[in-house]
Amino acid sequence: MKLRLHTQSSVYETEINKITFGQCEDILDAIDIDNMEFKNSDELEKCIKSTLKERISKIHPVITSIFCIPDEEFASLKIDELVEVLTFITSYALNELSQCASNSNAKKGGNIASLYQILFDLQITLCDKFKGLNPFILRHETMQEVFLLMKRLNSAQTQSNEPIQCLNGDVIRRPATDDSWF
């Protein structure tokens, strides 16, 4: 999945899976993640916006290294786009770190994944499968709706191809083949 930043003269992009652990760590340090409290992407974005002005000197070198943006081009980045990219990379980094912790806990007998982790994984999967999707328009609430729809689809699977009437009035039709659910 590609992340893009636009300047007045160019578009810079990187793939999320090419961002190194060290760069993720640098982003978390640059935005001062330890002093932020948030529950979802929207709250994280607000926290990043509020600290951007005082932390820009630390954010600048990390973003220029990740996207290979020349220093003179950094000043022409769009603030909203920069905040969205920082939010996404931070969510990605926190998700990866929590998966490492989950894998460590699973070895010890625990196996708990938060809804936030599941939704973020789903967001990555959707953007990888549907290349035209912009990861920044898939907000937390939208992802919950997608998650609930998938849950309803999974519970609606039957042996027949008859449409299923849900309690809320929605009609779910089974695809022609089982592999086209997702």
SS3 171: strand
Q: What is the pLDDT of residue 57?
A: 92
Flag whether pLDDT at 170 surpasses 60.
yes
Lowest mean pLDDT among 47-56, 88-97, 154-163: 154-163
Determine what percent of the chain is predicted with pLDDT higher than 70: 58
Q: Which residues of 11-38 are buried (b: 16+ CB within 10 A; e: fewer)?
A: ebebeeeebeeebbebbbebbebeebeb
Residue that has been written with the tokens 């969205």 in this structure: 84
Q: What is the pLDDT of residue 61?
A: 93
Token pair of 138, please? 């898939």
Query: CA-to-CA distance for 27 and 85, rounded, in angstroms?
Result: 11
Q: What is the pLDDT of residue 49?
A: 93
Mean predicted confidence (pLDDT) in 51-66: 91
Q: How far is CA 139 from CA 104, 126, 142, in A?
A: 29, 13, 5
Q: Where are the domains of the chain?
A: 2-111, 146-180
71: Cα within 13 Å, side-chain hemisphere? 2
Query: CA-to-CA distance for 173 and 154, rounded, in angstroms?
Result: 12
pTM of the model: 0.59
Token pair of 156, please? 């609606």
To the nearest whole number, what is the mean pLDDT of the chain? 74
Asked if 154 and 175 count as a contact pair (C-beta separation under 8 A), the reply is: no
Q: How confident is the model at residue 111 (pLDDT cuts 50, 70, 90)?
A: very low
How many helices (H) and strands (E) the chain has is answered by: 6, 4
